[in-house]
Amino acid sequence: MADREKLLDLAGSSFEIEDLLDYQSGAVVSQTLVDEEAVTVTVFAFDEGERLSEHTAPHDALLQVVDGTALVTVSGTEHEVAAGESIVLPANEPHAVEAASQFKMFLTMLR
């Protein structure tokens, strides 16, 4: 199903973010819900031990953990972020994400 169709299927209904994507063994999977000029919203599911290596992005982003626990490194400082917690990833600052356990996150990137 196309991302736009997925979003339209959700319009006007209540849903749990953690139910949008299933875990896959040994993988990081993602589903983009919104991809517009001003914002991108993506849901990720990480299997335990999986990671996104250190990188930078040209835009600020808000990472919200909805299930499990992540280790998020921003500019060399590691933060443990658990379900219900969030962290800002500043534009042009190096950051990485690692699954301390299986975890799901909601990432909102502001352009």
Please tell me the distance from the alpha carbon of residue 83 to that of residue 94, in angstroms, as a whole number: 23
Mean pLDDT score of the chain: 91
Ordered DSSP codes for 4-58: HHHHHHHTTS---GGGSS---TT-EEEEEEEE-SSEEEEEEEE-TT-EEEEE--S
Under 8 Å between Cβ of 18 and 66: yes
Banded pLDDT at 1 (limits 50, 70, 90): very low
For residue 3, the 8-state DSSP code is H
State the amino acid at position 103 in one-letter form: F
Task: Show the domains of the chain with their CATH numbers.
Answer: 37-110 (2.60.120.10)
Residues in the chain: 111
Please tell me the distance from the alpha carbon of residue 75 to that of residue 87, in angstroms, as a whole number: 13
Kindly report the pTM of this predicted structure: 0.88
Q: What pLDDT is stored for residue 6 in this prediction?
A: 59
Query: Does the pLDDT at position 80 exceed 90?
Result: yes
